[in-house]
Structure 1
């Protein structure tokens, strides 16, 4: 399965190198839905790392991919090709995985969606995750063995809720989960962490001592089986649009949280009246709706050598990048996993940051 998926990615990348310039030029001339323009990109734009636009309306240049496997993380849903992000986002995820394992009793991260290779709107799912500064982390701990590709596609994350209620199941929730959230919130570049309102309430009811970090933990629909980390616009990205700052003196456990436990947020909309004439479907976000720089991001070249998207080339690049990024990290013995480590199937085209 892995070989088949890799072959498809290599073929897509090879074809893209031939047809992409004309395709994007035509898209610029005629405009097109942005999710099609960006959702079809298999590889990143090789350029200085920059986020353009807002978290839900933008794109990413110079993104890198987090390796499929690390000592304290594994990436899920590999076929989505959404493990790309700003280098500082990738560095933060790897740091959180290491420190969570060493200090919080969390065995490792199962990493969900970050961004597409060039960011932008996705063909399905998220409205955000467009500029390489958002990442989803499962609240399911990493197992002691390496998951197969098939398992990564089919395994479901564990809900933290009790039945169909809005409240956390005390038999599932653990102090290590709270500690992991606190650690993520402690990083200065992290601006927000989105969780289900029930998880926020659990923290409000149980956390003692310094609670200032909880201001970053925001209740939102969904997010009962994972948490969403958002970091701030990073240096070198003047075209990145920041979000409104939060009040760090408010732990978020007052009236705004209470609203989530009323009927209003969960009330089903009234059944629409059947229109007397056909209604036009809503207009999708178009390429022209994004910052002008995003058209340039689509035109930026990808990895220049076909060797970079071959099995051996990609594996060599990933191995060298990991060694350069963490020269003092101990090697992980092969016997620690039940299956051999698969080579990275997509190259890391720029130098990875040191943490």
Structure 2
């Protein structure tokens, strides 16, 4: 009799487990139809899972994120209200390592760090298209002061714009050898995939960099980025879920490909006569399958 009861109990547990699995599958299916930026933008804490960068820099998510501490000896995190000071542990280690290098190779006491990723990565409600897998960091091209910013200052103080008003070059009043040294140090780090800056900053680097110039290959021009550099790490070693970016184009990038950015249509682009239709929002199901589990993790 006891054996029969045990079998029945086991059958009941199996039915309960099947029901739970079915409910979880249904929840994942419902989740898949929701806008990804809404779902990931609402996450306030990281997924308590093994650290993994999942997907591509502009189409993925982040498990096991680590927060960059608000203050370090050689860094301060900015715009804390955004809750975007999360990254893969390798990104946090890079920022700590890189920031410690900055006072040794420049006149800066340290760095000011802008957006990294959200607690579980993914698309953001506002701003970046990338920064989704915890391997991107915005580092202001403004030196850290020798005092600690207040919480209010971190929200209101603006970074220094490095680009001249006509967009054709850097502002000579603010451009210094320390800017070159800091960008160079980032590009020379072996874990860095590329460094994105405004085309005018790339132009100044091409003109002013002396000695070894191999690091210029990693520094690429991109829209915006006139007050910060966007540092992107390579996928961590052995990260099967992380999709790497195409390798950077060989060469310094200081020739005709840079000239393209200063053509009239790029410096002063005209809005199209007929505005394009807005793209449909990215849904959770458009991201790698593992991202649903990142969201559903407790």
Q: TM-score, normalised by structure 1?
A: 0.74
- Distance in 2, Cα, partners of 1:227 & 1:253: 18
* 8 Å CA contact 1:33, 1:287 repeated in 2: yes
Aligned partner (choices 199, 202, 212) of residue 201 of structure 2: 199
Q: How does 1:35-54 map to 2 (within 5 A)?
A: 35-54=37-56
**Aligned with 1:296 (options 290, 293, 296):** 293
1:25 positional shift? 6.0
- Structure 1 equivalent of residue 165 of structure 2: 163
What displacement does 1:299 show? 1.5
Three-state SS of the structure 1 residue aligned to 2:43 is: coil
Contact 1:109 1:142 in 2 (8 A): yes
What's the CA shift string for 1:327-351, capped at 9, x where partnerless? xxxxxxxxxxxxxxxxxxxxxxxxx
Distance of 2:184 and 2:206 partners within structure 1 = 12
In structure 2, C-alpha distance between the alignment counterparts of 1:24 and 1:105, rounded to whole Å: 55
Per-residue deviation, 1:166? 2.5
Q: How does 1:65-144 map onto structure 2 within 5 Å?
A: 65-144=67-146
2-side partners of 1:43 and 1:234: how far apart?
A: 22
Post-superposition offset of 1:241: 0.6
In the TM superposition, residue 27 of structure 1 has moved relative to its aligned partner by: 6.0
1:24–1:299 contact (8 Å) kept in structure 2: no
SS across alignment from 2:165? coil
Aligned counterpart for 1:282 among listed residues 279, 284, 287: 279
Aligned residues: 274
Work out the CA distance in 1 between the residues paired with 2:207 and 2:26.
55
Cα distance in 2 for residues equivalent to 1:288 and 1:37: 11
Aligned partners of 1:49 and 1:236 also within 8 Å: no
Per-residue CA deviation, residues 66-119 of structure 1 (Å, 9 max, x unaligned), is 100011100000000000000001110111110111232221110000000000
**What is the match of residue 29 of structure 1?**
30
Q: What CA distance in whole angstroms lies between the structure 2 residues aligned with 1:262 and 1:59?
A: 36
Residues 300 and 154 of structure 1: is their aligned pair in 2 closer, same or farther, counting only changes over 3 Å? same
Task: Give the CA deviation at 1:170.
Answer: 1.2
Rounded Cα–Cα distance in structure 1 between residues aligned with 2:162 and 2:282: 33
Q: Distance in 1 between matches of 2:119 and 2:106?
A: 31
SS in 2 for 1:120: coil
Give the stretch that moved more between structures: 51-60 or 258-267: 258-267
* Alpha-carbon spacing, 1:140–1:23, altered in 2? closer, same or farther (3 Å): farther
Segments of 5+ residues of structure 2 without an aligned counterpart are 1-22
SS in 2 for 1:296: helix
SS of residue matched to 1:67: coil
Are 2:105 and 2:182, in contact at CA under 8 Å, matched by a contact in 1? Answer: no
Which one has the largest radius of gyration? 2
Provide the secondary structure at the position in 2 that maps to 1:260. Answer: helix
Please give the alpha-carbon distance, in whole angstroms, between the structure 1 residues aligned to 2:122 and 2:58: 8
Superposed displacement of residue 46, structure 1 = 1.2
Q: Which residue of 1 aligns with 2:20?
A: none
Residues 81 and 23 (structure 1), Cα distance of their counterparts in 2 relative to 1, 3 Å cut: farther
Deviation at 1:281, TM superposition (A): 4.9
Residue 242 of structure 1 corresponds to: 244
Residues 56 and 129 in structure 1, CA contact (< 8 A), matched pair in contact too = yes
